[in-house]
Structure 1
Amino acid sequence: MAFESFPLRRAHEHPLEPMPRGAWPATLAPVTHLLDEGIDFAPVTVFVGENGSGKSTLVEAIAQAYGLSPEGGSVNAMHSTRSTESGLWRHLQLVRNAGASKRGYFLRAETMHGFYTYLEQNPGARAEPRFHELSHGESFLELVVDRFRGPGLWVLDEPESALSFTGCLSLIGILKDLVATGDSQVILSTHSPVLAAFPGADIQEVGEWGLRRSEWADLDLVRNLTLFLDAPGRFLRHV
């Protein structure tokens, strides 16, 4: 493989810490796929899939294996409230690109309120933005702008939960500028057709088949939303 300057090249099962296949979350097809075959990362890798498919489990395990707090934060962040994450990260081995940045940040929409409180209670050398005084979407984008700087690995779990349509477009714009430098990398999970359309992204569709690379137009979430927008009544009469 040619030399790359972004942080992560690949993730696979750790040869010295194999995970029992009968233990959760190895019972999920995408997790088994990752353990058995590994996954190669692009500058932008997007995981899409239904609720419960395992995409967030994959993303949080990759973040933890990299050294990021599962509830949000930078490398070696100590923020933790109630641990609910799987132990998958202990069984992963990450292959890093030589000389690439070891910086990174993990954001997940479902833990943002507590994370804002943690940041307020543990201020750094400079004044923190008043995240709690902003709307959910405004605070999320403000945190991305404030923390996602320079080279590094930027991991996001379902950020559309905090964002409107235009907010999703704004997030793509911010991340696209970071990736354009060549030494930053984005890994995210999403239900959003907008975020899944990230230019140049390697899309991994997550489901009972495991992991499969897909084109945006072929994604179930894109096809289903297109059908719904074309004739919402066809769907709503069955609700």
Structure 2
Amino acid sequence: MFLKKVSLLHDQIPVGEQYPFSIPAIRNLDSIHFKKPICFFVGENGTGKSTLLEGIAANIGFNPAGGSRNNMYDVYASESDLGNYLRLSWLPKISNGFFFRAETFYHFASYLDEVDVTGFKDYGGKSLHQQSHGESFLSLFSNRFYGKAIYLLDEPEAALSPARQLTFLRVIHDLTKQKDVQMIIATHSPILLGFPNAQIFSFDEDEIREVSYEMTDHYSITKYFLQNREKMLEELFKEDD
């Protein structure tokens, strides 16, 4: 691992409730200690997991719209200023890596079409726009990601079927065998969260806390639905008296 800790510089935050400090989990953050090469951020929509991931990416110097330090393109309103109020503790410090954002991936693919002169060597040998959405995601993960780097991924499961999510788990497994890759992943997928020996931080309940896989809502809700589908749907669709 390279990134050991992320701390919020409370004494430098402007007075008031400006975004993103209006998000409880962000406002209440002191520090996060990374102990495993694979770490997941999990929580309900709007709890700040993607915001913190973006802030880490910006602090490292990755394009907050998605990409590496060398990918220069803009997406309107793609970032907050959280990265300016974070302190990242490294051992050793590295700058190699990539910030993947599912919501801006189309813009990244279009940017590559404009600047790539290698025949898309690091992206499966053809334009990401010439592949299906899910195929293009896996082409990026399988070809662009390699050793001595840190990878930040925001909802990589967005275009992946359950079977392709399992394929992605194998990609993660193969990367971690190199012992010089660190990944921090914001996800809603109970499949991805099941990666063995990963560290999981929940952003629910207005704070960031480390939890086990079985303690996540994503696991418990999915398990209950699969085991009690008819009962759960009956309750969900029941008309109010």
TM-score, normalised relative to structure 1: 0.90
Aligned counterparts of 1:76 and 1:16: Cα–Cα separation in 2: 32
Q: How does 1:170-185 map to 2 (within 5 A)?
A: 170-185=167-182
Q: How does 1:1-239 map to 2 (within 5 A)?
A: 6-14=1-9, 17-20=12-15, 22-34=17-29, 37-41=30-34, 42-98=36-92, 100-124=93-117, 126-128=118-120, 129-237=126-234, 238-239=236-237
Task: Give CA deviations for 1:123-151 in whole Å, capped at 9, x if unaligned.
Answer: 14x11122111111111000112211121
- Between stretches 79-88 and 57-66, larger displacement belongs to 79-88
Gapped regions of structure 1 (runs ≥ 5): 1-5
Q: CA deviation at 1:16?
A: 7.2
Q: Secondary structure at the match of 2:208?
A: strand
Task: Give CA deviations for 1:39-72 in whole Å, capped at 9, x if unaligned.
Answer: 1113111011111111111111111111111221
Aligned counterparts of 1:19 and 1:194: Cα–Cα separation in 2: 39
Task: Give CA deviations for 1:179-210 in whole Å, capped at 9, x if unaligned.
Answer: 22222100000000011111211100111331
Partners of 2:4 and 2:89 within 8 A in 1: yes
Gapped regions of structure 2 (runs ≥ 5): 121-125
Task: Give CA deviations for 1:72-92 in whole Å, capped at 9, x if unaligned.
Answer: 111242121212321111111
Aligned counterparts of 1:79 and 1:166: Cα–Cα separation in 2: 32
Partners of 1:21 and 1:32 within 8 A in 2: no
Aligned counterparts of 1:187 and 1:21: Cα–Cα separation in 2: 29
- Between stretches 188-197 and 77-86, larger displacement belongs to 77-86
Q: Secondary structure at the match of 2:72?
A: coil
Aligned counterparts of 1:208 and 1:167: Cα–Cα separation in 2: 31
Aligned amino acid, residue 11 of structure 1: V
Q: Secondary structure at the match of 1:119?
A: helix
Aligned residue in 1 for 2:123? none
Task: Give CA deviations for 1:90-145 in whole Å, capped at 9, x if unaligned.
Answer: 111111112x5320101111111111110010114x11122111111111000112
Q: 1:16 and 1:96, CA in 2 relative to 1: closer, same or farther beyond 3 A?
A: farther
Partners of 1:7 and 1:102 within 8 A in 2: no
Partners of 2:64 and 2:78 within 8 A in 1: no
Aligned counterparts of 1:177 and 1:13: Cα–Cα separation in 2: 32
TM-score, normalised relative to structure 2: 0.89
Percentage of pairs with the same residue: 36
